[in-house]
Structures are given as structure tokens and as C-alpha cells.
Structure 1
Amino acid sequence: MTATGQLATFDEPSRDPRGPTLSIALWATVTRPSGDVAVWSRLGEVPPLAFDHDRIVADCRPLLADKLWRDVPFTAGLLGREFTTAQALDVTESLTGDRPYPANLGRTMDRVPGLERTSEHAAALPRGGRPPLVWKWTA
């Protein structure tokens, strides 16, 4: 699933030493990043950026975290058509910086329109334990 949207506009007059510059932060989800058009990095591993772009990334992270589980196209774009509870925990942690308690996240996901908990479980875990549940989008 691919989706796009606008997050914020940055227009402070002194943000670029070359003169007034406008930057618009956008978000996009892609199913398979490919090609050499962009360098893909995890949010916690973004390399140093020019001017105030590090601040832009830092300012946008909580905006993205707020969209998760509230904006269906954004969330579905990140997680795909089907995903496990473990994957949902990982995505939530990557955006918020905190790992949610699985039962609390499950209750949040139960309230998301178009998302349903299936009776399926993912493949057995290599280190043992109960395999995570599979969720899927119905709409």
C-alpha cells in the first residue's frame, strides 16, 4: 500500500544561510523502496542533514507517531495488508520511542476502523514462545 500526505511547513526566515527558504515536510509509505532516487533510513538512524533538516526530522517524528493508529492509509501503508502484533509493536516503538504494552496496543488496534484481528497466528518463533496474532485490513 502506498500513501502520501503533508506534515508541516517550515518557513522561519533565518533557517537557511542562503536566504529565506520554504520547506514542506511530506510523508510517504512505499511497499518496496528501490532505485537510487533516495536513501532509505530508519528514523533513529538518519545521517546528519544540511541546515535545519535534522530539526525538521525531529519535529516531524511526533507528528508521524500521532498519525499511527488514527490515520488508516498511513498505518496501512507502514504495516501492509497483513501484519503481526510483533510488527505493530515494532512500528509503534520506532515512531514513539517507547515499546507499548502488547495488550494496550491490541485494544487500540481493536478500535481502528477496517482493521480486524484474525484467528491466525504467525509461524512459530525460533526461540519458542507463543506466536503473534495476525491482523489484516478489511477495507
Structure 2
Amino acid sequence: MDVIALRYGPDDPTATLGIAARRWEPFAGALALPGVLLGLGERLAEAATRAVHTKLGVPADAILAVGQVATFDEPNRDPRGPTLSIAMWAVVGPHESDTATWVPFDAVPHLAFDHNQIVATARDRLADMLWKDLTFTRALTGDEFTATRAVGLTTALHGAKPDAGNLNRTLAALPGLSRTGERVRVKATGRPAAVWSFA
């Protein structure tokens, strides 16, 4: 079980993912995604929550949502022998922890095992889920967000800034999401941004 733990809190300029140094061999001291072995009788979401809590120091109540990304089965992915990895995603809310390092997708360093491949695959899948999977999307955006944050989140996952008109049409088509008519000045010199709200 390896987890792409995403954070995009109100004060975060972009979406980031959590990594931490491994404590044990193989790759002791190397940066890696949070991961654990699935316990007997343990459900995937429970194991993902445990991985984020124990490896990144995120309190369990700050883990807002969890889901599955893909399974990685390359026979040589782990030097200890053939091992499957079920990659999960988790969205975490604001919290205090000095265990994890939070990095943007475009600045992920070299990671242990095949974790860079897991990150690349997960980024594509999560980008496809954004604005379609409401559990995932709403965990990242919160109940209310500005158009500026929608652009920032889309850019972080897709790797390129979206067309504003297309993004507005996508947001307007989401069930339960509406434009409030309110505007918020995001930067002192910028134009006020539209506010979107989930019912």
C-alpha cells in the first residue's frame, strides 16, 4: 500500500503531495511515499489512513477522503522480492506535522522503489478525476472556493493552466455547484475572483 497524500489548504499556493524519509531498509533514509503492509482483515481505506497517519504524521481526523488509484505489479519493483503495491490517494486538511515534506507534482525528487512512476501515473488519474469525482474534488476544494483556487488546483494536477472559459463551463455543469455572485480579491493588485459553492 502506497499513498499519494494531497494537501491544498486555504493557505497553500498549490496542491502538494506528502513524502517522508524511510526509517528501515531497503532504502533507509531515502524519500518515499507513505506506505504500509496491508494488515490481516484490514480494508484498503483503513491501511491508507494508517500509512498517512504513521508515516506523514497527519492526524487521522485531518484525513478527509481516501480512494484507490491503481495496482503496480512490476516484479522487480521491490528488492525484497515480487510485491504488489496498491496505490491509493488521500486528501488531507490543515494540520500540524514536522514529519512530512510537501512538494508540488512538478518538484518531486527522486523517490525510493518505483514511487516516481506511481506519482506520475497517479497524477494523470487524479487529473482525470478532478471536477468529475465529487468526493475527491470536494475534499480538495472545500465547500466554497474561488475561481483562482480552481485554476490553481487544475494547473497543479494537469501540469498546465486551463482555459478559463472551459473551466467555467466545467464548474457550471457540476451537480450541486453554483456560482454565488460574490467576488473576493485574492491579491492586492488582482481582479476580484468569483466564488463557487457546493450546495
Q: Does 1:6 align with 2:6?
A: no
TM-score normalised by length of structure 2: 0.64
Structure 1 residue 124: Cα displacement:
6.1
Alpha-carbon displacement from aligned partner over 1:77-112 (angstroms, at most 9, x marks no partner): 111121111110010011001111111100000111
Aligned residue for 1:98? 160
Unaligned stretches of 5+ residues in structure 2: 1-62
Count matched residues: 137
| Aligned-partner Cα distance in 2 for 1:40–1:121 | 30
Q: Aligned-residue CA RMSD in angstroms? A: 1.6
Confirm or deny: 8 A CA contact 1:122 1:132 kept in the other structure: yes
Report percent identity of matched pairs.
51
Aligned residue for 2:19? none
Structure with higher strand content: 2
Secondary structure at the aligned position of 1:118 is classed as strand
Deviates more, 1:34-43 or 1:54-63: 34-43
Q: Does 1:24 align with 2:86?
A: yes
Letter in 1 for 2:175: P
Unaligned stretches of 5+ residues in structure 1: none
Aligned residue for 2:114? 52
Confirm or deny: 8 A CA contact 1:4 1:26 kept in the other structure: yes
Structure 1 residue 27: Cα displacement:
0.7
Structure 1 residue 4: Cα displacement:
0.8
Confirm or deny: 8 A CA contact 1:8 1:25 kept in the other structure: yes
Alpha-carbon displacement from aligned partner over 1:34-74 (angstroms, at most 9, x marks no partner): 32453322222222111211111111110000000000011
Letter in 1 for 2:109: P
Letter in 2 for 1:135: W
| Aligned-partner Cα distance in 2 for 1:111–1:54 | 34
TM-score normalised by length of structure 1: 0.90
